[in-house]
Chain A
Amino acid sequence: MLWVDKYRPRVLDKITVHEEIAQNLKKLVSEQDCPHLLFYGPPGSGKKTMVMALLKEMFGASAEKVKLEQKAWKIDAGTRTIELELAMLASTHHVELNPSDAGFQDRYIVQEIIKEMAKNRPIDSKGKKGFKVLVLNEVDKLSKEAQHSLRRTMEKYSSSCRLILCCNSSSRVTEAVRSRCLNVRLNAPSAEQIIEVLELIAKKESLQLPPGFAARLAAQSNRSLRRAILSFETCRVQQYPFTVNQAIPPLDWEQYVSEICSDIMKEQSPKRLFQVRGKIYELLVNCIPPEIILKKLLSELLKKLDSELKHEVCHWAAYYEHRMRLGQKAIFHIEAFVAKFMSIYKAFLIATFG
């Protein structure tokens, strides 16, 4: 098993990065009931880990006995019946799923699944009906309609089930849903925290980790703990007795983006833009989210840019990212940003060097 998964804390007590939050959650659970929860924070900050630990705290070891179910849903939506299949993880106490997989029909799924859960509630040892927990991942990708339908069902079935929502940005969760949940923000771990975790792992693996190297790993991880651990393991595999200056293998797609950037810097013309388009398509095909591409593109470009242009370029990046979220075809907008950059940069070059 990879270290990322191997050393993932399984109980709330062992969580080190967001220790305080973990303790608070523990107190919350100890009162036998808890409100709906909304966890949000950047990727790699430990949301899911926290959720799993929380479930274990609630239901004990049985929460870990999960199985994957491909459940086919038949939903009667007024005039038509919708049939769709959705993979979900289920234990006796909770159900975990990605409602955004259902695409535009997500709101039916959300309602239906909660209703179904309300129907068959587990009965605890005292004969009381317990509640089930529904873990919804990527809530921010849910459509507005689904989120609205969520808030109604949340109230209606609040006696029988609890929702744990996970998302990256709470700003894309409607106010109505947010206000019905206890919001828990898990911020990205700081470099120190990452180093701490890395050292812990090194100790358990009985490895010698030079402090400087750990700092470099943490710095390169972009404050994502799992990325740090992954690259730590990669380095371990590449070369064991660690040296401080050991090369940390870059992410391939990031490498590719920086290649694109150097392409852009070399020549600014429609023809070059056409080549860039092909490369961006390559990234998109391989499931890299367009926002991430744009962000990386910007940060790579900024590295090479004269400081007086940085502000303008940032502005346009934000502008086109906004457009991208409004639209549907990400390629248009990324390309528009690249074209805009080319235009600005070329004007700058001509102004500077004549």
Chain B
Amino acid sequence: MDEEQLIPHADELEWLETNSFLVESEGEDDLPFIAEEIRQDDGDLPFSAALPRPHESQVSRKRSWSEEDEGSENIGEIIKREESGNKRRALDFLEREQDEDWLRYSPPQKKAPAVHIASESDVLMVEPPVKEKILSRFAVEIEGDCVPVTGPYGDRVYAKMKSSKTDIEGPKKQRKEHLKYGLLSEPIGIIIKKLDHEAFAKAFEENDCLSCHQTHSEVPTFSEKLWVEKYAPCSFTELLSDEQTNREVLLWLKQWDSSVFGSQVRSTTDDVLSALRRHSSPVQHKRFSGGETFFEQGRAAPFTRQSLKSWNADKHIENVNGFSESWSKKATVDHPLEQKINASDDRSSLTLESKILDAVQIASVTADSKPKCLVIDEIDGALGEGKGAVEVILKLVVADKKAKVEKPNSTQQSLSEFSSRRGKNSATLLRPVICICNDLYAPALRPLRQIARVHMFVQPTISRVVNSFAECDIRSCLNTLQFLNKKKETLNILEVGSQVVGHKDISRSCIDIWNKIFQNGKSNRAKSSTTNLNGHGDFEFMYSLLSNRGDYDLTMGGIHENFLRLSYIDPMMIKTVTCLDMLGVSDSLHQYIMRTQQMSLNAFQPPFAIAIKRLIALVDKPNIEWPKSIQRYRAMSLERKDLLKNWQSKISPIISRHLSTEYFAEDFVSHFLHILVPPTLRPIALHLFSEREKDDLAQLVDTMVSYSITYKNSKAEPLKGAHNNGTAKDVSILILDPPIGDFINFKDYQPTHLELSLAMKQVLLHEVEKQRILRENSGRSLNPGNECNKDSQDSTITKLEVLHDIITKSASVKGNDKPRLAMLKLENEDNHKNLNSKSKKIVSNTSVTAEVTGDLKKPSRPISFFDRFRQGCNIDSKNHVSNLQKAATAERDSRPFLFKYNEGFTNAVKRSVKIRDLLL
């Protein structure tokens, strides 16, 4: 048995020996070879076999090293190792595929694992204590788990799966390590990525080859390059945009030649050239920019640029503004560009500045001999946040201009001096700068517009864009075409129309949208005639239009506001009903979305608008108005509610708690206005009233006070009126305060309640004031909290006397106004502050109170004040009044009087009133 086994085994060994030499000799370039193999394999089978490869190569490397170390003598040892490796592999069913792969690319070793199993018994015999338990022909002999292994001649042995042997431990540890990384040395994601890159690069190359050879373009999937880039025009002649603009831009660019190439040669002095030569750039422009960097280093670089900016400094920056539609070849126009900066990506001004400077000042490192033309794309985007971009550019340009201005002055100066000054201006502009933007009139572009030459790129005409369908935007056209091509479908109009992908996000203004909804106008028709769109396409168009706008609340508001103004034919109001139904559903949907925050439901909003369009759109242009009425309604009702709230806070809570807004508006206000204006109230003197009338009046006044409503002069500025000595014209209009009458003042509505006469209002106003003061006093005297201690009372008494004197005095001054009614008010109030605030509260159109407060605020001039007082006393007509008042104050323990002087109050009956009568 053993011998039988030995014979083939010896052969095998021999063969293996040679083979091992082979492996050994290949040792150095073994690894690269494998790697290459892998790569090729990957190209064919990118996913199935590729995954565990690096590990495999590592293993094989280990193997070869070990063979090198131990030489070829101890083949058994090698075999053992091989075997252990193989065993391990056998265990990992995951790696089976890898095994096969490995077997495939290294056929000489294919036999080894198979063979050594046969030789195993031999090895076992050589080293019985070590190998005893590892392999056996009988599974029973092996402790623990085992696995059956079959040799090439059908021999079957069982191999132990685990062993504590040291030489097996190594790979085991290794495996553990691998397990940590998921069996691989590198994470699988990275590997996949790498492979993808490789596959992509390969495919890309192939594609390039294809395009180079102009072979079949039917190979469809390889054109990974976007068509937009692939078919971007390479020369000016290919451009689609307006010829004239193209030529102008070209001309402008040509104008730079003098400054970039020509003049420099002329103006650069020899020493500079020699200095520059050290930078050893073969091309002229490169030398020039080398000079720039050199210059930056602060070394004396005395070159002048006499004619550098001579041609036109104002054309220095050119705004290539194509603001009509994006990508009307704006970016493609400038093709000899080498540095392109997308300003909207590099938001911060700092990075932008450094980029610009880099682009302008540093030469292109590549050997092609073109100077740099700086193109800044999406400059309007740069302004949104950074705002710095324009400033940077401006700074550059302005610096140049300054330099130009300085130049004549500095001609006499030495060149070095000049250069040192220039050295501070680190940023100079020697290159054309092209800015591209969508919106020329973006506010932040304003400064740039002044210094730049503006080219406008209009939408390419339809004749020029042959294949245009996506809103004349070439880029989206191309993208759509490519997308369709991918699907390998024949192009028909309907499908093109139904492509949502082709449409870029076009947002229009609201007015545009309303116009589109209400008008089946020419623009739509023209479009549908050119592209043969049917209703379906129209729907798509409207849908994208509306959903791009998004603000459905406003959109629907605008529709609601305007649709009734259209003169659509609707005899039975059916269309109108449907429209309003649509609006209603849209409204409740909107509310639902807002409440539940399920914004995705907004997708169902546009169809409402489209349905409305189907119903009522007309051919002629509608007269759209911005929807104001809902806003107005909200603002007004808020205003009204505020008014009510304020009023409520003035009314005592016992009443106001019942006075909710709804109750007020529904029930209260109409009746209240009626009650406020009793028709029985005659405009006569109060004392002529009958008892019943007096009762009525008293009740009315009571009501007005408790609901804190009064009349006020609608011509504001009562103080001013008082200073004009209270001319009667100011009193002409008295309105309710707060103006609750507004609540029923509907448009085209004649309120049912009456209006009181002016005189009556004045009587009421006066009575209400009187009543209110009385009530406040009684309320205060009842209120125990307001009492203050004696000493402060004393001080206030003197002050109050003074106050009282002023009152008398000012009354006398105003004597020529013939006050018809003088009211003296007993003031229980001890606290000076309270009095002061009270006197402010008293009807403010009396100049007396105004003066009182005014004078009290200025106690610093008491002398003149008393002078006036004496003067006032001299006027005899009022003498007795003040005397009497003084007596009264003495009598009443210095309880002060408040004199209230009503101006402009007319009463038909005159009657002399004694102050005494008024004192209770």
User: What is the interface of chain A, defined by CB distance below 8 A to chain B?
Assistant: 1-2, 4-5, 8, 43-44, 48-49, 52, 64, 66-68, 70, 87, 89, 96, 98, 137-138, 224, 226-227, 230-231, 233-234, 237-240, 249-253, 255-256, 259, 268-271, 273-274, 277-279, 281-289, 292, 320, 323, 326-329, 331-333, 335-336, 339-340, 342-343, 346-347, 350
Contact = CB atoms under 8 A, between A and B. Distances in A.
A286 B744 contact: yes
Most buried by A among B560, B577, B591: B577
Contact of A343 (B576, B664, B707): B576
Contacts of B664: 287
B173 interface: no
Contact of A44 (B645, B649, B667, B753): B667
B653 interface: yes
B746 A279 contact: yes
B645 A87 contact: yes
Interface string B647-661: 011000111111011
A298 to B, nearest CB: 16
A4 B703 CA distance: 11
A271 B568 CA distance: 11
Given A66-B653, A66-B657, A250-B752, A326 B680 contact: no
Interface of B: 557, 560, 564-566, 568, 570-574, 576-577, 580-581, 583-585, 587-588, 590-592, 594, 629-630, 632-633, 636-637, 640-641, 644-645, 648-649, 653-658, 660-672, 674-675, 678-680, 696, 702-703, 706-707, 742-744, 746-749, 751-753
A249 B632 CA distance: 31
Those 6 A-B pairs whose CB atoms lie nearest each other, nearest first? A336-B580, A252-B744, A326-B588, A343-B573, A327-B587, A230-B671
Nearest to A347: B572
A343 B577 CA distance: 8
Given A52-B657, A274-B565, A326-B591, 11 more contacts: A231-B671, A233-B671, A250-B670, A252-B744, A278-B747, A286-B746, A323-B588, A331-B560, A332-B560, A336-B583, A339-B573
Nearest to B573: A343
A284 B633 contact: yes
B661 A287 contact: yes
A326 B592 CA distance: 8
Nearest to B656: A68
B662 A339 contact: no
B674 A237 contact: yes
Contacts of B645: 87
B629 A64 contact: no
A286 B743 contact: yes
Contacts of A252: 669-670, 744, 746, 749, 751-753
Nearest to B667: A227
Contacts of A336: 577, 580-581, 583-584
B669 A331 contact: no
Contacts of B678: 237-238
Nearest to A96: B657
Contact of B675 (A2, A89, A284, A288): A2
A210 B743 CA distance: 32
A138 B662 CA distance: 11
A323 B590 CA distance: 12
A270 B749 contact: no
Contacts of A227: 667, 671
A260 B767 CA distance: 40
A283 B675 contact: no
B703 A2 contact: yes
A329 B587 contact: yes
Nearest to B751: A252
Contact of B747 (A268, A271, A279, A326): A279
Nearest to A274: B564
B573 A253 contact: no
A231 B752 CA distance: 13
A254 B576 CA distance: 26
Contacts of B564: 270-271, 273-274, 277
A277 to B, nearest CB: 7
B636 A285 contact: yes
B786 to A, nearest CB: 16
Given A89-B653, A224-B667, A320 B640 contact: no
A285 B668 contact: no
B369 to A, nearest CB: 60
A332 B587 contact: yes
Contacts of A346: 571-573
Contacts of A335: 560, 580
Nearest to A336: B580
5 contacts: A2-B675, A270-B568, A326-B591, A331-B630, A340-B577
Nearest to A289: B662
A66 to B, nearest CB: 5
Contact of A288 (B566, B577, B658, B666): B666
Given A64-B654, A249-B752, A332 B584 contact: yes
B675 A234 contact: yes
Contacts of B585: 323
A333 B743 CA distance: 23
Contacts of A320: 584
A270 B576 contact: yes
Contacts of B580: 332, 335-336, 339-340
Contacts of A238: 674, 678-679
Contacts of B571: 346
Given A273-B564, A331-B630, A67 B653 contact: yes
A230 B667 contact: yes
A290 B664 CA distance: 15
Nearest to A4: B658
Contacts of B660: 98, 137-138
Contacts of A237: 674-675, 678-680, 696
A332 B641 CA distance: 22
B749 A5 contact: no
Contacts of A328: 587-588, 590-591, 594
